[in-house]
């Protein structure tokens, strides 16, 4: 320790001591400051406590003075509120006594043009009725406001009727045609919206209907609604019919200028969304049938049972076209009416009202369909089987639209929904009957000598039958379904497209079989076997070519695979039969009975006569056949040329060989008398066969 003290300098110790003394002095001053502040704080606290005690005393005195005043004021305010409420209730009650007078002018003038104001007045009257019923049921004012309320409701019903009547107009035919048309070139069809009522008018009608249901306790307006809208629906469809008649009469084209509907002569695989009947189908068939029925191919009137509706083709076609479009129009308009009805009629009354609304138009359409069926039935009774062609396009259209039809009528009465199926069944039944009777008529068509073509060409029965069958190509599904509808119920489960196609194929084969049997029977009218062969050849060839050209052959081969080859065999058989007629000519050229002689040997008289007879028999037979057969006809140029060429070769070769054998024989002093024709001349004569103009 002594060593350390000696080591610290004396000056540093003095400085350290002074520093400590200064810090001690500062701390003492701070302590004195704190003490002074504490004393001041105690004094202030004592002063504040004294002030608060004084304030509390004064506040208690004030409260004791104010509370009684406050309670008195509160009582006065409650009394004032009760007085105000009483006065308000009195005013409200008094106002009910003035409602009839206040609303008299507006009620008398009606709701036209100011529906909102009118409904507000009705609401006031209704409240007055409720007040008097609850508080003063014996008051005369109750009868007054009741009468005013009934008058207001009556005028609202009248306004509902007036708005519907004034603004409900038939849909223009052109707009309907636009709505039901389908443009196959457009992938997405632009839907045409049918606006039946102006939007502002519609909102007023909806408002009135809502009020009548909720407050008027009235359902009569729904009867008014369906009666007016039903009339407009029916008028719209009738307007479309009239549009067809007028446009067809003036231009022959029963279409809207706004609708680009394609006409097709042949069916295609593409089926449009809403198939539209192609006009001209019936007219084409009827014209062809009429052509063959009125004028037989021999230039005289025919006697076939296939008699078309003469002079009525265009009218018939227009009526069918119109009816088919009206069916589509009904579906479209009914759907539009239902959409409108949903906004106006209460939900639980919608189906019933819609059912009533469509009845008139639907009944008229079904009646027209029944008339078409009845007309077809009468025609069939007259053996006019071409009339069934009127059923095919309509039936096809009805069946293709049946699902949409059923969807539109969903929720209606069973009697309503069954109307279309009943019509379809009627059409299928009469159509099937016509098809079966047509097949029987082909089999039983009488053999009338005056009705047979003198030139052996195609019989009108054949042409009519083929024309009739060709029309089935456009309606394969429909015709097949007709036939299937008459099948027993045990096979009902097999009613598929393929099944129907087989039935139709079987039917066509039956008609062709009946036709073949009848032609064989008719051919017996001809005494000349060669003409009989030409007749059968022409008819068989016509049938085969017609089957091939019209694609009927594909339908026939569904059940008869060898149909084409069988007809070719029949044709070949008739050609062979015809050629046999030349045997009586060529038999004179044979070596039969030909004398055997040596060159330079003189013939006996009997031998010379044999050669003369052969020349004479050939010449006479050739002349007779050429004269007779020149008046016969083979319309098919290919077949005509083939038969000529074949026969020319046979006769020419036999004749040349005969001439060669007789070349060095002296059998007469006048050889030109017997050698009348050169081989080339014979060929020219045969070349003129079956040429009535030669």
- Which tens digit of pLDDT belongs to each residue from 265-276? 333 333 333 334
The pLDDT, as a whole number, for residue 437 is: 92
| DSSP-derived secondary structure letter, 64 | H
Alpha carbons 173 and 236: distance in angstroms, whole number: 7
Give the 3-state secondary structure percentages of the chain, helix then strand then coil, rounded to 5.
75, 0, 25
Distances in Å between the alpha carbon of 417 and those of 227, 405, 485? Answer: 20, 9, 20
Quick count: other Cβ atoms within 10 Å of Cβ 259?
Answer: 17
The pLDDT, as a whole number, for residue 233 is: 94
What is the reported pTM? 0.71
Model confidence at 313, in pLDDT bands (50, 70, 90)?
A: low
Tokens, residue 19: 């520093």
Q: Is a pLDDT exceeding 60 seen at residue 290?
A: no
Answer with the residue of higher pLDDT: 574 or 83.
574
Distances in Å between the alpha carbon of 259 and those of 4, 175, 262, 332? Answer: 130, 9, 9, 16
Going by C-alpha positions, the residue among 629, 611, 598, 591 that lies closest to residue 671 is 611
For residues 145-156, average pLDDT: 82
> Which of 58-67, 133-142, 163-172, 252-261 is predicted least confidently?
252-261
User: Do residues 286 and 442 touch, judged by C-beta distance below 8 A?
Assistant: no
Answer with the residue of higher pLDDT: 119 or 139.
119
The pLDDT, as a whole number, for residue 47 is: 83
The pLDDT, as a whole number, for residue 356 is: 94
Alpha carbons 102 and 121: distance in angstroms, whole number: 9
| DSSP-derived secondary structure letter, 272 | -
Q: Is a pLDDT exceeding 70 seen at residue 18?
A: yes
Q: Is a pLDDT exceeding 50 seen at residue 105?
A: yes
The pLDDT, as a whole number, for residue 268 is: 34
User: Do residues 369 and 423 touch, judged by C-beta distance below 8 A?
Assistant: yes
The pLDDT, as a whole number, for residue 100 is: 63
Strand, helix or coil at 535? helix
Residue with tokens 């007709």: 482
Across the chain, mean pLDDT equals 81
What residues have CB less than 8 Å from 112, skipping those under 6 apart?
Answer: 159, 162
Instruction: Give DSSP secondary structure letters for 175-239.
Output: HHHHHH---TT-SSPPPPP---S-HHHHHHHHHHHHHHHHTS---HHHHHHHHHHHHHHHHHHHH
Model confidence at 694, in pLDDT bands (50, 70, 90)?
A: very low
Residues in the chain: 694
Question: What's the CA angle centered on 222, arms 220 and 227, to 5 degrees?
Answer: 100
The pLDDT, as a whole number, for residue 139 is: 75
Tokens, residue 452: 């047979």
For residues 660-686, average pLDDT: 82
For residues 84-91, average pLDDT: 60
Tokens, residue 416: 């309503």
The pLDDT, as a whole number, for residue 672 is: 78
Q: Rounded to the nearest 5°, which phi and psi values hold at 279?
A: -65, 150
Model confidence at 512, in pLDDT bands (50, 70, 90)?
A: very high
Question: What's the CA angle centered on 673, arms 672 and 676, to 5 degrees?
Answer: 65
Q: Is a pLDDT exceeding 80 seen at residue 398?
A: yes
Of the ranges 2-11, 296-305, 525-534, 580-589, which is most confident? 525-534
Tokens, residue 87: 């006065």
The pLDDT, as a whole number, for residue 275 is: 38
For residues 481-496, average pLDDT: 68
Distances in Å between the alpha carbon of 254 and those of 351, 368, 369? Answer: 35, 19, 20
What percentage of the chain carries pLDDT values higher than 70?
81
Q: Is a pLDDT exceeding 70 seen at residue 282?
A: no
């Amino acid at each position: 320790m002594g060593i350390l003290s000696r080591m610290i300098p004396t000056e540093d110790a003095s400085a350290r001591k002074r520093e400590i003394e200064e810090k001690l002095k500062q701390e003492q001053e701070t302590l004195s400051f704190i003490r002074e502040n504490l004393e001041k704080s105690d004094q202030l606290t004592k002063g504040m406590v004294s002030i608060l005690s004084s304030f509390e005393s004064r506040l208690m005195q004030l409260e004791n003075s104010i509370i009684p005043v406050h309670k008195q004021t509160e009582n006065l305010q409650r009394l004032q509120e009760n007085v105000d409420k009483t006065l308000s209730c009195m005013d409200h009650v008094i106002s009910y006594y003035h409602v009839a007078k206040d609303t008299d002018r507006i009620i008398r003038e009606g709701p036209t043009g100011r529906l909102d104001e009118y409904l507000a007045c009705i609401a006031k009257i209704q409240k007055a009725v409720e007040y008097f019923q609850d508080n003063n049921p014996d008051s005369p004012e109750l009868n007054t406001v009741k009468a005013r309320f009934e008058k207001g409701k009556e005028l609202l019903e009248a306004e509902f009727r007036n708005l519907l009547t004034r603004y409900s107009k038939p849909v223009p035919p052109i707009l309907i045609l636009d709505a039901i048309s389908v443009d196959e070139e457009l992938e997405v069809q632009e839907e045409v919206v049918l606006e039946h009522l102006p939007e502002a008018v519609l909102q007023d009608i909806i408002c009135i209907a809502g009020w009548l249901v909720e407050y008027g306790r009235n359902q009569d307006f729904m009867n008014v609604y369906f009666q007016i809208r039903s009339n407009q629906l029916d008028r719209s469809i009738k307007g479309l019919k009239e549009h067809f008649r007028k446009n067809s009469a003036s231009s022959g084209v029963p279409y809207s200028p706004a609708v680009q509907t394609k006409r097709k002569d042949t069916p295609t695989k593409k089926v449009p969304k809403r198939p539209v009947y192609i006009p001209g189908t019936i007219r084409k068939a009827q014209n062809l049938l009429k052509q063959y029925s009125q004028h037989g191919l021999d230039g005289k009137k025919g006697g076939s049972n296939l008699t078309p509706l003469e002079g009525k083709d265009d009218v018939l076609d227009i009526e069918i076209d119109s009816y088919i479009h009206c069916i589509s129009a009904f579906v479209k308009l009914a759907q539009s009416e239902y959409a409108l009805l949903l906004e106006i009629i209460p939900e639980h009354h919608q189906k019933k009202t819609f059912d009533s609304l469509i009845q008139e138009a639907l009944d008229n359409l079904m009646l027209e369909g029944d008339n078409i069926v009845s007309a077809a039935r009468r025609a069939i009774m007259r053996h006019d089987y071409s009339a069934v062609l009127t059923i095919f396009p309509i039936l096809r259209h009805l069946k293709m639209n049946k699902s949409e039809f059923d969807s539109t009528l969903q929720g209606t009465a069973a009697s309503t929904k069954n109307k279309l199926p009943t019509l379809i069944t009627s059409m299928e039944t009469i159509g099937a009957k016509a098809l079966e009777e047509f097949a029987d008529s082909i089999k039983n068509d009488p053999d009338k000598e005056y009705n047979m073509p003198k030139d052996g060409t195609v019989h009108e029965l054949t042409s009519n039958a083929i024309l009739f069958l060709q029309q089935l190509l456009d309606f394969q599904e429909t015709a097949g379904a007709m036939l299937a509808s008459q099948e027993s119920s045990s096979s009902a489960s097999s009613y598929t497209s393929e099944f129907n196609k087989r039935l139709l194929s079987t039917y066509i084969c039956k008609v062709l079989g009946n036709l073949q049997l009848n032609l064989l029977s008719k051919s017996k009218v001809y005494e000349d076997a060669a003409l009989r062969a030409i007749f059968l050849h022409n008819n068989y060839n016509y049938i085969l070519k017609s089957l091939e050209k019209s694609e009927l052959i594909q339908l026939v081969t569904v059940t008869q695979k060898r149909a084409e080859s069988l007809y070719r065999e029949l044709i070949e058989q008739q050609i062979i039969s015809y050629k046999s007629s030349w045997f009586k000519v060529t038999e004179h050229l044979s070596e039969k009975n030909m004398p055997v002689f040596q060159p330079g040997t003189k013939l006996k008289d009997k031998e010379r006569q044999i050669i003369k007879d052969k020349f004479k028999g050939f010449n006479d037979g050739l002349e007779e056949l050429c004269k007779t057969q020149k008046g016969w006809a083979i319309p098919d140029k290919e077949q005509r040329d083939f038969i000529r060429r074949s026969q020319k070769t046979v006769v020419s070769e036999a004749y040349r060989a005969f001439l060669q054998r007789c070349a060095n024989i002296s059998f007469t002093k006048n050889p030109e008398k017997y050698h009348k024709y050169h081989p080339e001349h014979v060929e020219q004569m045969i070349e003129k066969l079956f040429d009535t103009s030669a």
